[in-house]
Amino acid sequence: MSYADFHRRSLEDRDAFWTEQAKLIDWQQPFTRVCNHDNPPFTRWFEGGKTNLCHNAVDRHLKDRAQQNALIFVSTETDQERVYSYAELHAEVQRMAAVLKAQGVKRGDRVLIYMPMIPEATFAMLACARIGAIHSVVFGGFASHSLASRIDDAAPVAIVSADAGSRGGKVVAYKPLLDEAISLAANKPASVVLVNRGLAPMSLVPGRDHDYAALRAQQLDTVVPCEWMDATDISYTIYTSGTTGKPKGVQRDVGGYAVALASSVKQIFMGQPGETFFCTSDIGWVVGHSYIVYGPLIGGMATILYEGLPIRPDGGIWWKLVEKYKVSVMFSAPTAVRVLKKQDPAYLKQYDLSSLKALFLAGEPLDEPTARWIADGLGVPIIDNYWQTESGWPILTIANGVEKKASKFGSPGVPMAGYSVKLLHENTGEELTEPNQKGVVVIEGPTPPGFMQTVWRDDARFVNTYWKSIPGRLVYSTFDWGIRDEDGYYYILGRTDDVINVAGHRLGTREIEESISSHPNVAEVAVVGVADALKGQVAMAFAVAKDASGLVDEAARLKLEGEIMKLVDAQLGAVARPARVRFVSLLPKTRSGKLLRRAIQAVCEGRDPGDLTTMDDPGALQQIRDLVA
């Protein structure tokens, strides 16, 4: 079957298509209705069916692959490596489940997980799924205020955490952050279960805090059966952080998510049972949920849980793991590849990478030089993909597991099964059908299995935020600009809310950034729109120079700034010229590599930059404060 037919069938013969995909998982009770879209924009999948995520990720594999690798833990921070077979993973998940049940956790209760990248974090997620508790994983190292807001929103019965994480050899103590967050939160958890790694001292609060090792020792042989869940029950919530306002709890179901992951691992990632999947993300992000924990395990694969940097102990560590564990599917981010690009290219030739089928990249735009460098180095397809916390799995990419199809540099690809993707005019809602017309990327309902059900405890926010931004149309907005070429490939042009209106001229920051980046001495740039009394907004650019040694005095900085202004003038016209180009040594990013443009904008406008606790280096924002003070 061609991919075009595969995708068309997923939309036009929806029930039959998804009934076939649903055969990729186990059902304790068959579903009676495939897709319920009676109350748009809400979509309910596989009504009447009962299943369990943990059963599909662990238990069902015991018959045929009990001794196969399931979870491979590697920490270059603590020099630890441990491999768990499916049988060993099953035992550890039952122990964690027994511990949680002994702490009073029941079906439907929330468990907040605030953990570094250690096996117990995976055990906790799977244990929650096993007993029907709703987990909410918060990125490890989140500061207390942000953690407190998530505790209040989730109202967890229990929290699972650890003494500390480690990043770049520096210990990050979690327990003091957690203690402060609980003190700030109105909804206090009854129980806190702590994994003591011996990295940082921690004192236990009597009656509330418990040492996991001691609790585990009491549950070594406890059998905890899977709780059979309705397909439409809630599996987990995960928070999207914004610069202002209350974080949104993206709510996911059980059955639809399991089917989407089973299907995507096979059709998109070409994963087969017995192979190894290496996703370099973090369990605190949706990528980690879907493609470190649930997806590979549902697919009967081994999954690598990696704690560390891509260049520690050296720039070859990831490739060493690919060789050692015969990784067939690798998933990372363009930022990580750009970091590796600065390392000795010999590392790419040092290891046997013949097991690798493809490298998938997501999380931010993939530039062509980076894509070509890694493609040449690995000799395998580099497959970009585009999705969101809200979608749970890729919206746009290439499904080589259905039909081999060429990637195009700069494009994440084409819509995946179940996604009815359109480009709409932002003001009129008119559908843009001609090639290379710029519009808002939207998804028509019903949304596919695995997509968010709603915002946790806030259906109105779900509808108003996501479904009512285009006049006269009830469609899900990605809040991204895009174009589609004559072959149906989409190109993402940046956020709709990154548009600058300069004296009535609408300018996309991404276009200005690409112009500035073409200067030979610019390594990286962020452009934001800053309020201006005369023009409404002006563009402000912050750039990292490739060679900063020549920018020691003001004259040199002004010279380079002038060159960049002329370049933008020539490429985009004077209206796109930034008001200033400021030079910094680094730009503020999240730890997953996304530029914090809205935070930069807030600093420039003298506003509170908001929830920035996921920043990789807080010093970057301070540099910008100093420049605009």
For residue range 232-243, list pLDDT tens digits in order.
Answer: 999 999 998 543
**pLDDT score, position 497:** 67
Count of CB atoms within 10 A of residue 550's CB?
Answer: 12
Per-residue pLDDT band at 496 (split at 50, 70, 90): confident
Coil, helix or strand for 557?
A: helix
For residue 516, give the H/E element and its range.
helix 509-517
Task: Return the amino acid letter for 148.
Answer: A
> Six-digit token pair at 295?
């997806």
- B/e letters for 128-143, b = 16+ CB within 10 Å, e = fewer, are bbbbbbbbbbbbbbbb
What does the pLDDT read at residue 242?
A: 44
Residue 361 has which token pair? 């990249």
Which tokens belong to 231?
């397909």
CB contact at 8 A, 294 and 57:
yes
Burial class (CB in 10 A: 0-12, 13-18, 19+), 220: exposed
Which of 120-124, 158-162, 265-269, 366-370 is least confident?
366-370
Q: Strand pairing of 134-137 and 110-114?
A: parallel
pTM higher than 0.75, yes or no? Answer: yes
Q: Are 423 and 436 in contact (CB under 8 A)?
A: no
Place 511 in a pLDDT band, splitting at 50, 70 and 90.
confident
Rounded CA-CA distance 27/374 in Å is 41
Whether the Cβ atoms of residue 476 and residue 508 lie closer than 8 Å to each other: no
Chain-centroid distance, C-alpha 565: 35
Token reading at 512: 């200005």
Question: Measured between alpha carbons, how far is 494 from 505 in angstroms, rounded to an integer?
Answer: 17
**Range from 71-80, 271-280, 312-321, 491-500 carrying the lowest mean pLDDT:** 491-500
pLDDT of residue 615: 61
Distance between CA atoms of residues 124 and 120, nearest Å: 6
User: Is the confidence at residue 154, as pLDDT, over 80?
Assistant: yes
> Quick one: pLDDT at residue 613?
54
Report d(CA 394, CA 371) in Å as an integer: 19
Under a CB-based contact definition with an 8 Å cutoff, are residues 443 and 403 in contact?
no
Give tens-digit pLDDT for 371-426: 889 999 999 999 999 999 999 999 999 999 999 999 998 899 999 999 999 999 98
CA atoms within 13 Å, Cβ hemisphere of 322: 26
232-to-13, 252, 259 alpha-carbon distances in Å: 21, 9, 12
Beta strand spans in 22-149 (E):
33-39, 42-47, 50-51, 69-75, 80-85, 110-114, 134-137
pLDDT tens, position by position, 295-304: 999 999 999 9
- Do residues 238 and 289 touch, judged by C-beta distance below 8 A? yes
For the CA atoms of the chain, what is the radius of gyration? 24
Q: Report the amino acid identity of residue 35.
A: C
Please name the amino acid found at residue 467. W
pLDDT band with cut points at 50, 70 and 90 for residue 79: very high
Rounded-to-integer distance, Cα 383 and Cα 406, Å: 9
Per the structure block, which two tokens stand in for 619? Answer: 């010093």
* CA–CA dist 53, 128 (Å, integer): 10
pLDDT category at 370 given cuts 50, 70, 90 is: confident
Mean pLDDT of the chain: 92
The sign of the dihedral angle between the CA atoms of 615, 616, 619, 621 is negative
Strand partners, 252: 236
Percent of the chain with pLDDT over 90: 74
The pLDDT value given to residue 280: 95
* DSSP string computed for 581-610: EEE-S---BBTTS-B-HHHHHHHHTT----
Q: Which residues contact 157 (CB under 8 A, 6 or more apart)?
A: 103, 104, 105, 106, 109, 110, 111, 133, 189, 190, 191
* pLDDT, mean of residues 3-29: 98
Q: Which domains does the chain have, with CATH numbers?
A: 3-308+385-466 (3.40.50.12780), 503-628 (3.30.300.30)
Question: Nearest 5°: phi and psi at 615?
Answer: -65, 140
Terminal alpha carbon distance of the chain? 60
